[in-house]
């Protein structure tokens, strides 16, 4: 759980792709990794990058409902949209891991492998709050 936050996010699965691959193209592969790890997933909130027939078909086949979190562009500047920023604390914790933040890895598979230790470092303080695990 992010300090001061009432929501906790845990990385269940990850699929890293080259920048030339759209999110919706990698959705079914990501869902294929996530469903065995967390078979009770029933609903996903997605951004606009994960919309379209490919995503809808993959979600339906997996028995998962999806909801795109977006809205009209606000006329008065930035407004937080419900559910839009739920994953940001997890992304922030990944960015605090120097090995992942600086992209030292040559292959996407190796970079993806380092996501697990970064999430372990995020979860360990939940087990024992007297320890400092943020320097892994």
Mean pLDDT in residue range 28-39: 91
Percent of all residues in the chain with a pLDDT value above 90, rounded to a whole number:
17
**pLDDT tops 50 at residue 6:** no
Please state the pTM of the whole predicted model: 0.66
pLDDT band at 103 (very low <50, low <70, confident <90, very high): low
* Structural domain boundaries in the chain: 22-81, 87-136
What's the confidence (pLDDT) of residue 135? 55
pLDDT score for 11: 78
* pLDDT grade for 12, boundaries at 50, 70 and 90: confident
Residue 5: predicted pLDDT:
43
- pLDDT score at 61: 92
Return all residues near 94 (Cβ < 8 A) that are at least 6 apart: 100, 101, 115, 118, 119
User: Could you read off the pLDDT of 42-92 as tens digits, one per residue?
Assistant: 988 887 778 889 999 999 999 999 888 776 677 777 777 666 666 666 667
Rounded to an integer, what distance in angstroms lies between the CA atom of residue 64 and that of residue 45? 11
Computed over every residue of the chain, the mean pLDDT equals 76
CA–CA separation, 6 vs 30, rounded Å? 26
> What percent of the chain clears pLDDT 70, i.e. is strictly above it?
68
């Amino acid at each position: 759980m992010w300090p001061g936050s009432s929501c906790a996010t845990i990385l269940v699965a990850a699929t890293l792709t080259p920048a030339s691959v759209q999110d919706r193209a990698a959705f079914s592969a990501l869902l294929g990794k996530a469903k065995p790890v967390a078979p009770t997933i029933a609903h996903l909130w997605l951004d606009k990058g994960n919309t379209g027939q490919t995503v809808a078909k993959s979600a339906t086949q997996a028995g998962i409902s999806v909801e795109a979190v977006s809205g009209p562009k606000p006329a008065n500047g930035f407004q937080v949209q419900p559910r839009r920023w739920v994953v940001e604390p997890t992304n922030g914790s990944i960015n605090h891991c120097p090995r992942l933040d600086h992209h030292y890895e040559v292959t996407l598979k190796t970079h993806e492998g380092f996501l697990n230790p970064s999430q372990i470092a995020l979860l360990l303080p939940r087990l024992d709050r007297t320890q400092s695990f943020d320097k892994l």
